[in-house]
Amino acid sequence: MTTKSFLTPGSIQPLLASVAPIALVGIGMTFVIITGGIDISVAAMLMVSAVITSKLLVTTGMPLIPALLISMAVSGVLGCINGILISIGRVHPIIITFGTANLFQFLGLRIFGSQTVNGIPATFEFFGRGEAGRTFGVPHSFLITAIVAGVAWWYLRRTSGGRHLFAIGGDPSAARLAGVRVQRRTILTYVITGLLVGVAACFTISLGTSTLDQGVGSGSELAVIAAVVIGGTSIMGGRGSVVGTILGAVLVQTVTSGVTQLGWPTQLANLFVGIFIIVAVGTDLVRQRARRKS
């Protein structure tokens, strides 16, 4: 608020564009955490989808829709692998996704082949920061994220499938006894997350130049989890909101942008986000204990 340029279109539009991939993956992560799970492999999944899609764009010059579908298919398969291993193996999701994160990262690096992907065409300019990527000044990527958030909110709050996810997060054994197909719902949440990662990979490609390097997506899993937790989703499962996740993603990216515009050390952004996470988790734990006592 003390920086004159912060509330200008030239600042807000890039901010919303950078929020979109984090918020979009955060919607899927909200589903996962509501069921009591977590997925720390999303950054590696994004890298694999981005490099495969970018190389196909360079070699074939395919149009937007087929490229988008391929990106979603790649990450959707990776998400399905996570879901199957977690639901069938019944190992804590953080262990499985930590393992698959390393496997997916290895795969992505092998596809990169120690080289950047150069000459990427402007196929995804519809999602980008330029005039072609905005309607009424709002980036298309953010508009799409808002629409997906609306659909996700409706699914969670107005359908039996959404209520089943909350039931799984509250008590998976009780949910199973009540007739909820826990394994199938668990796999579904990781597949949904994977599909959204594929779209976010296209958003990420559109934000850059015609070159993609091996650092794409690095650290995004932390920003996504931070957005979800700060947005009010209980890390213990059983409670959450996609609207809160969108607001959490906006807060995380606003802190990063604000610190940069104020000329402060960039490390302070991590400090502030870390404080927000601790406060959010602490508040959630206090609320959980109060409920148990009552």
How many structural domains is the chain composed of?
Answer: 1
Per residue in 216-230, pLDDT tens? 988 889 999 999 999
DSSP run (H or E) holding 222: helix 220-230
Give the residue numbers spanning the domain of 122.
12-216
13: Cβ contacts below 8 Å, ≥ 6 apart: 129, 134, 137, 138, 139
Per residue in 182-194, pLDDT tens? 999 999 999 999 9
Question: Does the residue 87 lie in any domain?
Answer: yes
Question: Does the residue 284 lie in any domain?
Answer: no
Question: Does the residue 178 lie in any domain?
Answer: yes
Q: Say how far apart CA 227 and CA 154 lie, in whole Å.
A: 20
CB 19 within 8 A of CB 253: yes
- Highest mean pLDDT out of 110-114, 195-199, 276-280, 289-293: 195-199
Per residue in 52-105, pLDDT tens? 999 999 999 899 999 999 999 999 999 999 999 998 887 889 999 999 999 999
Question: Does the residue 6 lie in any domain?
Answer: no
Question: Does the residue 39 lie in any domain?
Answer: yes
Query: What is the reported pLDDT for 132?
Result: 80
Query: What is the reported pLDDT for 250?
Result: 93
* Amino acid identity at 223: A
58: exposed, middle or buried (C-beta count within 10 Å: 0-12, 13-18, 19+)?
Answer: middle
Query: What is the reported pLDDT for 294?
Result: 67
Global pTM value? 0.93
